[in-house]
Amino acid sequence: MKEETIRVKDGNLFYRFEGQGEPLILLHSLGVSSESWQHVIEPLSRNFSVYAVDLMGHGNSDKPSKNYEIYHYAENVIELMDVLKINQARIIGNSIGAMVSIEMSVSFPQRLAKQVLVGCPIWDTAWERMERLMFYSYLRYDSDGNLEPITMDGLSLFFAHPTTAVLDWYNNVEAKAEPWRKKAQIAIVLYDVVSKLHMVNCPTLIISGGKDELHEKDQVLVQRIKGAKYSLIEDAGHLPQMDAPEDFLKPVMEFL
């Protein structure tokens, strides 16, 4: 697997690359990095040229001083595609990565061939979004706004079968995203994803883990995105590509 860095308007973006074929871009969840796709990159690369990106502020990408909203992350991915001379790509986005994909499908519709939305956060009202921000801030940040390491109990909110190895990895990769994890959390709750869904015309597959608390709102996505397909992976959490990679790959490959 190759590791590369390219320059975009706001700094350097890091990505991992493997495979040959039509381009497939992977966008990770809040606070983590392209490492979260480690179990599925190789199988996907048998059919596609796979680009697993560290979103700005995460992993090995730069941490510029400006505050980002979801549109800025989407703009970065378009810049990456331009530099790599990718006219159109398939996108798999997890959590905030799913929101970025939705924004790309609305603001840059000609650049997406298909999209897979994994664990996409959905809150129907601004009140609900702010409640969620306060909930996570209370759980994870100290009085000075610094991110506290997640515990095994906290990890169970994201993984169906948390282990000490996953706990160590999660805390290490989140530490690399500071202070951008909080910025990205704010970007998520500021983004009114529901208002965008009727504008999505890209073929869309929605995937959720059955043990991800966010999947209770899946039908909002299914009902409001025209022609959307849906797959529930029962024994998986918010990052099903890590919890159950084989179960994750089956509907993804059928769709792509």
Q: How many C-beta neighbours within 10 Å does residue 78 have?
A: 16
Q: Is the dihedral of CA 200, 54, 57, 206 positive or negative?
A: positive
pLDDT greater than 90 at residue 134: no
Give the residue ranges of DSSP H helices in 65-216.
70-83, 96-107, 126-140, 152-155, 164-176, 180-190
- Does the predicted TM-score (pTM) go above 0.75? yes
Enclosing domain of residue 82:
2-255
Average pLDDT over residues 84-93: 98
Q: State pLDDT tens for residues 152-168.
A: 988 988 999 999 999 99
Number of domains, the chain:
1
Per the CB < 8 A criterion, the answer to whether 173 and 32 are in contact is yes
* CATH code for position 120: 3.40.50.1820
pLDDT in tens, 17-67: 999 999 999 999 999 999 999 999 999 999 999 999 999 999 999 999 999
Answer whether residue 138 shows pLDDT above 70: no
